């Protein structure tokens, strides 16, 4: 007879996304704990030598060693997979190791990747400095110009790699259209969904094949732990998992437990981040010392309609150009605004309950040449805010210098 606590193996197919965030993937031990258990153990015991052999041989499912699987990590993977609508999730030690595991699992020397120029700076370094040494070719193209993607395809192209909205200019890419181009070339479309999370955007539903996450950001939500994830169909995740269990870029059980708690509140947090961001972006547009404001939720965003088709909100990241005053350079103007803040944290992280402020040209994008930065539109006056969960009036007050 089914009872109220027969939750293990519960049918989740009828649940709404918010309920999946709280309940999906959860498994209870015999103790009946209501908050998911943290399994801080490296190995698992077998009842007999025969069972050990069966586990290692793959004829009996079950845990062996936490580099391969761990129940707390499994719960995190199953919850995130349910939220993204993916068959399988492979959790990793960081967002960067998620990208590494994805490429190592699915590509070989001589293969080719087409990537958007507007991706996370460290992802550019990974592709162009490190993976290149191992025989992987990468071509960088414009995020929004689909003809450039088309033109970059070679017979060896395996992956398309994109982030949308982009950092820091919040440009949006048409995921369905890009997926079509990738599939015609027999390539897979990989979307780094870190900025939106499944609470705002579901790339697999739009035709993408693989999702990357830096769980460090909004999935944690309070700036505590590093982690990442790769999601997709079982057939694509099998070699990614194979790389992970051998190379050991595994997510720690403790971090998985923190992220599990993060996912429970993901929907209400993302809604609050986006609500604050829209109010702040609208206010910024009206300030005398502000030039352009970049936020997909604004009517003035050139791709507002596409963004609202793909996303349930504009998300939590807002960028804007500070207009220099007489005798000031653009960088001096931007730095003056950043240095005048007291509440907002000057730090490069994002997705935290605490609002953060950065000057992309001299931090996240400082390793890019000045010409490439200018071509990408990342000007010296540009400031990025990852809008947190403080009251938005306090954020405006912290930026009051922009009103002068």
Ligand X SMILES: *Cc1c(COP(=O)(O)O)cnc(C)c1O
Asked if 217 touches ligand X (CB under 6 A), the answer is yes
> Helices 266-285 & 253-264, crossing angle to 10 degrees?
70
Q: Tell me how far, at minimum, the Cβ of 311 lies from ligand X, in Å.
A: 15
CA angle 94, 224, 170 (to 5 degrees): 65
Asked whether position 316 contacts ligand X by CB under 6 A, the answer is no
- Cβ proximity to ligand X, 185 vs 211, nearer residue: 211
Rule CB under 6 A: say whether 252 interacts with ligand X. Answer: no
Nearest to ligand X of 26, 97 (CB atom): 97
**Shortest CB 301 distance to ligand X, Å:** 19
Q: Which stretch binds ligand X (CB under 6 A): 92-100, 319-327, 335-343, 382-390?
A: 92-100
Distance of CA 67 to the CA centre of its chain: 23
119-138 residues in contact with ligand X (CB under 6 A) are 120, 123
Span near ligand X by CB under 6 A; candidates 7-15, 213-221, 255-263, 338-346: 213-221
Q: Which helix (H) or strand (E) holds 357?
A: strand 356-358
Closer of 219 and 284 to ligand X (Cβ):
219
Considering only the stretches 89-97, 143-151, 286-294, 378-386, report the one whose residues sit in contact with ligand X under the rule CB under 6 A: 89-97
Q: Compute the C-alpha angle 149/142/137, nearest 5°.
A: 60
Please list, residue by residue across 21-56, b when 16 or more beta carbons sit within 10 angstroms of its beta carbon and e when fewer do. Answer: beebbbeeeeeeeeebbbbeeeebebeeeeeeeebe
94 binds ligand X per the rule CB under 6 A: yes
- CA 323/CA 288 separation, integer angstroms: 8
Which SS3 state, helix, strand or coil, does residue 77 take? helix
Q: Largest Cα–Cα distance of the chain, in whole Å?
A: 80
Per-position x/- string for 140-179, each x denoting binding to ligand X as judged by CB under 6 A, each - no binding: -----------------------x----------------
Of 214, 255, 310, 364, which lies in the binding site for ligand X, with binding defined by CB under 6 A? 214
Smaller CB distance to ligand X: residue 63 or 216? 216
Question: What string marks each residue from 172 to 201 as x (binds ligand X by CB under 6 A) or -?
Answer: --------------------x-x-------
**Stretches 13-21, 90-98, 305-313, 328-336: which one binds ligand X (CB under 6 A)?**
90-98
- Alpha-carbon span 122 to 371, nearest angstrom: 19
d(CA 320, CA 304): 16
Which 3 state secondary structure label does DSSP give 37? coil
CA distance 359 to 337: 10
**Residues 357, 322: contact at Cβ < 8 Å?**
no
Stretch that binds ligand X, among 39-47, 175-183, 201-209, 212-220 (CB under 6 A): 212-220
From 73, 86, 96, 173, residue interacting with ligand X (rule: CB under 6 A)? 96
Q: Which residues bind ligand X (CB under 6 A)?
A: 94-96, 120, 123, 163, 192, 194, 214, 216-217, 226, 228
């Amino acid at each position: 007879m089914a009872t109220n606590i027969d939750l293990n193996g519960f049918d989740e197919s009828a649940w709404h996304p918010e309920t999946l965030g709280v309940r999906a993937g959860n498994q209870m031990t015999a103790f009946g704990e209501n908050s998911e258990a943290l399994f801080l153990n490296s190995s698992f015991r077998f009842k007999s030598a025969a069972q050990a052999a069966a586990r290692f041989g793959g004829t009996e499912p079950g845990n062996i060693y936490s580099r391969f699987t761990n129940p707390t990590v499994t719960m995190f993977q199953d919850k995130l997979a349910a939220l993204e609508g993916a068959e399988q999730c492979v959790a990793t030690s960081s967002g960067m190791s998620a990208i590494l595991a994805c490429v190592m699992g699915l590509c070989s020397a001589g293969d080719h990747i087409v990537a958007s120029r507007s991706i996370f700076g460290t992802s550019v370094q990974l592709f162009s400095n490190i993976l290149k040494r191992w025989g992987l070719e990468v071509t960088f193209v414009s995020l929004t110009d689909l003809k450039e993607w088309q033109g970059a395809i070679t017979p060896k192209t395996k992956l398309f790699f994109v982030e949308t909205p982009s950092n820091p200019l919040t440009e949006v890419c048409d995921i369905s259209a890009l997926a079509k181009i990738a599939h015609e070339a027999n390539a897979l479309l990989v979307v780094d969904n870190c900025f939106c999370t499944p609470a705002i955007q579901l790339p697999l539903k739009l035709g993408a094949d693989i999702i990357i996450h830096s769980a460090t950001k909004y999935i944690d939500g309070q700036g505590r732990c590093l982690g990442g994830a790769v999601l997709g169909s079982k057939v694509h995740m099998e070699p990614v998992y194979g790389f992970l269990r051998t190379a050991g870029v595994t997510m720690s059980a403790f971090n998985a437990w923190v992220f599990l708690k993060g996912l429970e509140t993901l929907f209400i947090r993302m809604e609050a981040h986006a609500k604050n961001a829209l109010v702040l972006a609208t206010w910024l547009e009206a300030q005398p010392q502000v030039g352009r404001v970049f936020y997909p939720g604004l009517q003035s965003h050139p791709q507002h309609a596409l963004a609202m088709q793909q996303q349930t909100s504009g998300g939590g990241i807002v960028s804007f150009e500070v207009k220099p005053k007489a005798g000031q350079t653009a960088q001096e103007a931007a730095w003056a605004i950043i240095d005048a803040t007291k509440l907002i944290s000057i730090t490069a992280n994002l997705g935290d309950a605490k609002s953060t402020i950065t000057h992309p040209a001299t931090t996240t994008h400082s390793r890019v040449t000045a010409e490439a930065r200018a071509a990408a539109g990342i000007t010296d006056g540009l400031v990025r805010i990852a809008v947190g969960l403080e009251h938005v009036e306090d954020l405006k007050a912290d930026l009051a210098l922009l009103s002068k």
